Amino acid sequence: MEALVNQLPIGLSIGAVLLLVALGLTFTFGQMGVINMAHGEFIMAGAYTAFLLQDLLLALPAAFLVAGLMGLILERAAIRHFYGRPLDTLLLTWGVSLVLQQLARDLFGAPNVQVAAPPWLTGAIGILPYNRLFILALAVAGVVAVWAYLGHTRQGRRTQAVVQNRQLAATSGIDTGRVDMLTFFIGSGLAGVAGVALTLIGPVGPALGTYYIVDAFLVVVAGGLGQLRGAVLAAAGLGLLNSYAEFWSDASLAKVIVFAAVIAFLQVRPQGMFVLRSRALT
Amino acid sequence: MLELRDVRVVFDGFHALDGVDLTVPEGELRFLIGPNGAGKTTLIDVITGLTRPAAGTVTFDGHDLVGRKEHRIVRLGVGRTFQTSVVFEELSVVENLDLAACFRRPLWSLARRRKGVSQAVEEALTRTGLEELADRSAGVLSHGQRQWLELGMLLAQRPRLLLLDEPVAGMSREERERTGELLTQIAADHTVIVVEHDMEFLRRHASKVTVLHEGKVLVEGSVEQVSADPRVQEVYLGRKPSDAVGK
Amino acid sequence: MIRKHLPFATIAVLALVAAPLLLEPFRLSLLAKYLCYAIVALGIGLAWGQGGMLTLGQGVFFGLGGYSMAMYLKLAEGGGLPDFMVWSGVEELPALWTPFANPVFALGMAVLGPVAIAVVLGTLVFRQRVRGAYFAILTQALAAAMVILLVGQQGLTGGTNGMTNFFDLFGADLAADSTQRGLYLVVAGVLGVLYLATRQLVNSRFGRLLVAVRDGEDRVRFLGYNPATVKTVTFAASAGMAGLAGALFVPVVGIISPALLGVVPSLELVVAVAVGGRHALAGAVLGAVLMGYAKTAFSEQFADGWLYLQGALFILVMTLAPKGIAGILGRWRSARAT
Amino acid sequence: MRIPHAILSGVLVISVAACSGTQSGTAPSEAAGGSEIKVGLLHSLSGTMAISEVTVRDAELLAIEEINKAGGVLGKKLVPVVEDGASDWPTFAEKATKLIRQDKVATVFGGWTSASRKAMLPVFERYKALLWYPVQYEGLESSPYIFYTGATTNQQIIPGLDYLKEQGKKKIFLVGSDYVFPRTANKIIKAYAAANGMEILGEEYTPLGHTEYSTLVNKVTQAKPEAVFNTLNGDSNVAFFKQLKSAGATAESMPVLSVSIAEEEVKGIGVDNIAGQPVAWNYYQTTDNPANTAFVKAFKDTYGQDKVTSDPMEAGYNAVYLWAEAAKKAGTVEVEAVKKAAGGIALERPEGLVTIDGETQHMYKTARIGIVQPDGLIKQVWDSGKPIKPDPYLKGYPWASGLAQG
């Protein structure tokens, strides 16, 4: 029974990890329609930033910058030529992810590296260790920051305007190229932050990104591509489902169950949890 | 033939259609007008299954259309065009028409190459005057030609009810005239509903007009009756109806 | 007429006569392996290039075909339980396995199994108008889930090891060079037939309809067709091809394992199709053979570089020549013609 | 769509030309006559397994270099042909075929995962060529064309259990990655436990590459075992130990005995997370004997002072020496003669005395339990006293009779 109750916070904390890795993805997709397969490698870049600095609090902003700049470069150099072709972007960024993985292997070596967790994260409240709570808090902070940015800053509102009608926004004086750049910077930066957080609980190596990318995509799909509210609910839902499914069966089956659940869910809500309505015929 | 009763559509609290009743008997050419946001396109969307009404009934020839999938409604004989014409640019003109003509055939029979041009396609080509361009890819057509191709595709479908969403928008004067002739021809042996802003076009071709305003039917009647109606003038901001509706 | 068929005849002669004569057996079976991949690529070319469905889970179907064939081969050996069951502690043959002793059933399942899964998945997702990126991601997740499932059922599937160590195929010694040559001819023949059939389909009305669905799914609905059906049929056809390719792959290469049907191999094939040229079926075939060859050649020279090369090649193709090699050749040809 | 046939003919011409080109580039091997002997090294140099396998290849290259310096084998120099298995089992089979048929190597040293070995096995048996496989594995195999220089189960798993039993640990929880080695190991463990009055509280598997262990850690801590037997592989270990530690479990309250974590992996897991935990192997960098001192020094001099040596590396390093010794004894590198000569060869290696068991082609090896130290190295705390005779089918263990009917 105790174990059963424990699974609840565990599920939420798994959800927090999912949310954190999917947040940047949902941001870039929602705002720009870009599916970034190199997102996992931006997470990895964040984790390696933490490895180089060996200081969690310093690493958070630094990783945001590092991954964000990588995203910025990617956007300027390649992705901007692909707007409106999400499938091509998906494949292009996959190529980028391959190169980045091998680059990490050459720069840092193939074996995992160690990032020491700060001593103040040792300990636990109930079943949840401090580092899990830290991730939970970080995920919440990330969501709040994105929400505040989009709804309550000038630049955020511009971003929203571009999402709703790119041409109209452009003719009313918004530099859409700049907005895209900034959006991609933030989305990738969030991946970097996720990478720092993941060093607390997982391996830090060239393959890091590949472990999380499929799950992150599932969250984005189930949440409704690009919907912040949806992503939060989907992450929590999938986290809990995963936690209980694994508890009653095993880790392998839990993954299969989560996948089946997402397919089933799409039968009920084909466009994810929340969708923007549009009268345009696509 | 087509009957709408108390149709309501709500988008995020906004009543796009707020209890519309509409009856179109067989063989009629009906124009739908109204200011922007009056719900004209939404009405067509409801009839063709693109938008599901929150309440109300839509019957075509005794069939309930609400909740039916788009392609099933087409199979009942209801065809439509779009404001911004959508044709398949990678296919040739004749291929576009041929696809439109073939939908009643079983899918497996499509696994063969097209041999020659079917009668329906031939007819559509002649009516729209696109014979010369038959083998050109649809991507190279001008705006007007695209609109005609779309009309041609609609004809090739051999529908019983045609819904045209702003068929002359963006056309030159000559193109409009040709479209008008085409429309007259079509209306001779089809039931047609046209959404149109162009008042001159309206005057020349309309027999009966329905005016929509804020999701409701404001008035219905002949062109003269409608343009004389003070409520219509008020809706169009008190200006002379011809200026206002003509836009 | 003759002119029209001359190039194809040339290839057929080259592939069926010259290659077996010129290549040593090891290289010939490598080529056979690439041609298996080319069959999968053909299906991807159909689904993605023509139908716009980016399927990132084609490895799943390839794997199902491969596993069906492998199960037959394991049972055909005779001599009791398959080796991996023995060391997995399985004591009697699972019921799931029994019908696979029949080669007709096994081959049928290799094709129909993938088709059935594609029909179910296609019906579920296309009916709900899940498309584009959604579909891509879902097929990718399918590949991931499938691998986990196969790995987890070690007693049934051989786990991560998969199945290997096959001895004979319909009485012929699989190790013999003559068998491998024969297998090569079968693979090349199947590829040729499927290529012609797919081309026929693409040029038919259905092919036009498929392109229409790709470019304007919603518009097609108002032409009275159900795009979900069109897409499901196409997806199923491409799945069937992948399944058949998998079934041929197993006797050629001698192994099937979950690693062959995961996310990465599925993506690699899509890359190959993109490099070859997704809109031309021949481009897809070309891409698969070239990338297969490049991978072998490159990893023989310098292993680490392969990932760089693959990634870079891909970025270059996507940015500079989105229509792939076929597109470049096409442009070059039309430039010369004018 | 207008030019497909032209393209297709292009592709076939190119590929046929390319393939035959490569073919003519490889002259018949000099293995038979010339002054060189080609040997193949086949490990994953790319992909997920590269982390581990590259180090083994390095150790094997070191051995080849040392042997060449000392005059080679039968007066000829060894020339390594290195191929990449790319962490992909069919590639292992393909590259093995290439090494045997095209490069005509005298022998191959290679593999790490069981899956790669299973994939290569039919190739070596088909062409009657030799493979030296350097990693501990799940047993139940004895191919006439493979020499196994790592431990089989009775030289690692069973000694590990003996150690836990001696420590008075009776309630055990089993955690493993979902593949052949952990599943087979756990079968053996369960049979052992049944015969030795131990209790198995749970058995859990996670997919390879799994990194979310909170649920599993909850299951383990709720079951309150006295020890955990860990057969997780690769990156999963990092996540498992990090998350186990932050859940408050310690090596004192609940030791986790691992059989796939060597010196190389400790760094990535983080010493803090694993210090004090026991591991079971046949060799540690700290193993005290002159052969090892020389090996560690040579390895560090060649590859860098920050490098560590580990059990599989040592087994790979040994494999080259053992083959060279067998070839010397046989007077030829011909496969059947080498096989015949190999039985009974005994060498002092870094792990101590290693003897080839001619019957099973496995090695007599000493089992050692070590504890991970705060400096990242592993200190031996227990050993089996003498080399244990390899018993891949566990025929000598009555309680295991039900396991190995194969």
Which pLDDT belongs to residue A276?
Answer: 42
Average pLDDT value for chain D: 89
| Arithmetic mean of pLDDT over chain A | 86
Cβ contacts below 8 Å, chain A against chain C, sum to 114
Angle between helices A39-53 and A86-108 in degrees, nearest 10: 30
Q: Is B138 found in the same domain as B64? A: no
Q: For residue C204, give the amino acid letter.
A: S
Instruction: Indicate whether B209 and B234 sit together in one domain.
Output: yes
Q: Where are the domains of chain C?
A: 6-262
Of B11, B12, B82, the CB nearest to A281: B82
The pLDDT of residue D13 is 52
pLDDT greater than 90 at residue C295: no
Strand partners, B163: B80, B193
Q: How confident is the model at residue A26 (pLDDT cuts 50, 70, 90)?
A: confident
Please tell me which of the candidates B12, B45, B82 has its beta carbon nearest to residue A277. Answer: B12
pLDDT band at D402 (very low <50, low <70, confident <90, very high): confident
What are chain D's domains?
7-151+288-364 (3.40.50.2300), 154-282+367-400 (3.40.50.2300)
Q: How confident is the model at residue D19 (pLDDT cuts 50, 70, 90)?
A: very low
Tell me how far apart the alpha carbons of residues C40 and C246 are, in angstroms, rounded to a whole number: 8
pLDDT at residue C71 is higher than 90: yes
Which token pair is A223? 């949440």
Helix (H) or strand (E) holding D16: helix D4-25
Q: Residue D26: its pLDDT value, please? A: 38
Which has more confidence, D248 or A276?
D248
User: What's the mean per-residue pLDDT of chain C?
Assistant: 87
Q: At which of B100, B134, B158 does a domain end?
A: B158
Contacts with D, A 95-124, CB within 8 Å = 102, 105, 110-117, 121-122, 124
Shortest Cα–Cα distance, D299 to chain A (Å)? 18
**pLDDT at residue D404 in the model:** 56
- Contact check, Cβ <8 Å, A218/C142: no
pLDDT tens for each residue of C279-289:
889 889 999 99
Considering the domain architecture, whether residues B69 and B96 belong to the same structural domain is answered as: no
CB C230 within 8 A of CB C213: yes
Q: So what's the pLDDT on residue C5?
A: 63
Residue B232, C-beta contacts closer than 8 angstroms, at least 6 positions apart: B211, B218, B219, B226, B241
> Does residue B83 lie within any of the structural domains?
no
pLDDT at A273: 52
Between chain C and chain D, the number of residue pairs with CB atoms below 8 A apart is 195
User: Which has more confidence, D336 or B237?
Assistant: D336
**Closest to A198 (Cα-Cα) out of A101, A190, A29, A239:** A190
Selected for mutation to probe chain C from A88, A90, A225, A246 (highest C CB count within 10 Å) is A90
Q: Between D49 and C2, whose confidence is greater?
A: D49
Binned at pLDDT 50, 70 and 90, residue D8 comes out as low
Interface test with D, best of C2, C164, C256, C308 (most D CBs within 10 A): C164
3-state SS record for C115-150: HHHHHHHHHHHHHCCCCHHHHHHHHHHHHHHHHHHH
What is the Cα–Cα distance from A217 to A25, expressed in whole angstroms? 8
Mean pLDDT of A5-31: 88
State the average pLDDT over residues A201-212.
Answer: 89
The pLDDT > 90 percentage for chain A reads 39
D385: phi then psi, degrees, rounded to nearest 5: 85, -50
| Partners of residue A125 on adjacent β-strands | A128
Q: Is the pLDDT of residue D23 over 80?
A: no
Phi, psi of D202 (to 5 degrees): -175, 160
Distance CA A43, CA A70 (A): 11
**pLDDT of res. D2:** 43
Share of chain B above pLDDT 90, in %: 45
Closest CA to A234 of A272, A198, A190: A272
pLDDT interval class at B246 (50, 70, 90): very low
Q: Could you give the number of structural domains in chain B? A: 2
In which domain, by residue range, is B219 found?
1-77+159-247
Q: Alpha helix (H) ranges present in B103-160?
A: 119-128, 143-156
Contacts of C129 in chain A (CB under 8 A): 270
At residue D27, does pLDDT exceed 60?
no
More confident residue, A52 or D267: A52
Last residue of a domain, one of B107, B131, B158: B158
Q: What is the mean pLDDT of residues B84-105?
A: 90
Pick from A194, A212, A210: which is nearest to A50 by CA? A194
B98-103: average pLDDT: 92
Chains that touch A (3 or more CB pairs under 8 A): B, C, D
Domain boundary among B130, B158, B186: B158
What's the DSSP call for residue A24? Answer: H
Specify the CATH number for the domain of residue B195.
Answer: 3.40.50.300
Q: How many CA atoms lie within 13 A of C180 on its CB side?
A: 21
Q: How does pLDDT run across C5-19, given as a tens digit for each residue?
A: 666 777 777 777 788
Q: Give yes or no for residue C338 having a pLDDT over 80.
A: no
If you count them, how many residues does chain B have? 247
B55 and B170: one domain? yes
- Of A243-247, B194-198, D21-25, D40-44, give the lowest mean pLDDT range: D21-25
Same structural domain, B148 and B68: no
pLDDT-based confidence at C4, cuts 50/70/90? low
pLDDT band at A124 (very low <50, low <70, confident <90, very high): confident
Q: B199-209 pLDDT, tens per residue? A: 788 888 888 99
Per the listing, tokens 């409701």 go with: B216
Q: Is residue B225 in some structural domain?
A: yes
Smallest CA–CA separation between C159 and chain D, in Å?
6
Q: What is the pLDDT of residue B99?
A: 93
Render pLDDT for C129-157 as a digit per residue (tens, 0 to 9).
877 778 888 888 889 888 888 888 888 88
Contact C282, C288 (CB under 8 A): no
D73-131 pLDDT tens trace: 999 999 999 998 888 888 899 899 999 998 999 999 999 988 899 999 999 998 999 99
> At residue D37, does pLDDT exceed 90?
yes
- Cβ within 8 Å of D, A 147-186: none
User: Looking at the predicted structure, is the pLDDT value of residue B60 above 50?
Assistant: yes
Handedness of CA B108, B111, B112, B115 (dihedral sign): positive
Q: What share of chain A is helix, strand, coil (3-state, %, to 5)?
A: 75, 0, 20
The whole-angstrom distance between residue D208's C-alpha and the CA centroid of its chain comes to 17
Three-class DSSP category at D299: helix
Q: How many CB atoms lie within 10 A of CB D53?
A: 30
- Model pLDDT, residue A90: 86
Residues on chain A touching B84 (C-beta within 8 angstroms): 281
B199 and B115 in one domain? no
For position C24, what pLDDT does the model report? 84
| Contact between residue C32 and residue C180 where contact means Cβ atoms under 8 Å apart | yes
DSSP one-letter code for D401: T
Element containing residue D293 per DSSP (H, E): helix D290-303
- Could you give the C-alpha distances from A172 to A166, B245, C137, D327, in angstroms and in order? 10, 27, 35, 82
Most C CBs within 10 A among D2, D11, D105, hence the mutation to make, goes to D11
pLDDT tens-digit profile of B13-57?
788 899 999 999 998 999 998 888 788 889 999 999 988 899 999
Interface mutation target, options A25, A80, A87, chain C, most CBs of C under 10 Å: A87
pLDDT value of position D21: 42
Q: Is A15 strand, coil or helix?
A: helix
CB pair distance less than 8 Å for A277 and B11: yes
Cβ neighbours, 10 Å, residue D47: 21
Lowest mean pLDDT among A255-259, B65-69, D236-240: A255-259
pLDDT digits (tens, 9 = 90+) for D279-311: 999 999 999 999 999 999 999 999 999 899 999
Please indicate whether, in this complex, the C-beta atoms of A256 and C149 are within 8 angstroms of each other.
yes
Residues in chain A: 282
Say if residue B170 is in the same domain as residue B152: no
User: Are residues A95 and C318, on separate chains, in Cβ contact within 8 Å?
Assistant: yes
| Predicted local confidence at residue C220, as pLDDT | 92
Average pLDDT of the residues in A123-128: 81
Residue D33: predicted pLDDT: 56
Q: Which among C164, C303, C326 is the nearest to D45, CB-wise? A: C303
- pLDDT above 70 (res C3): no
| Longest CA–CA separation in chain C, Å | 71
Residue D154 in this model has a pLDDT that exceeds 70: yes
Per-residue model confidence (pLDDT) at position B237: 52
Residue B87 to chain C, least CA–CA distance (Å): 8
- What number is the average pLDDT over the span B180-201? 87
Q: Does residue D9 register a pLDDT over 50?
A: yes
C197 touching chain B per CB within 8 A: no
Question: C256: pLDDT confidence band, cut at 50, 70 and 90?
Answer: very high
3-state secondary structure D160-197: HHHHHHHCCCCEEEEEEECCHHHHHHHHHHHHHHHHCC
Q: Percent of chain B beyond pLDDT 70? A: 95
The predicted pLDDT at position A197 comes to 93
**Is A257 a residue whose pLDDT tops 50?**
yes
What mean pLDDT comes out for the span C98-104? Answer: 91
Poorest-pLDDT segment among C60-74, D36-50, D349-363: D36-50
C with B: touching (≥3 Cβ pairs within 8 Å): yes
Length of chain D as a residue count: 406
Indicate the pairing of strand D368-372 with strand D278-281.
Answer: antiparallel
Angstroms from D46 CA to nearest CA on chain A: 9
Position D14 pLDDT exceeds 60: no
pLDDT at A225 over 70: no
**What pLDDT was estimated at residue C141?**
85
Phi and psi for A175 in degrees, rounded to 5? -80, 95
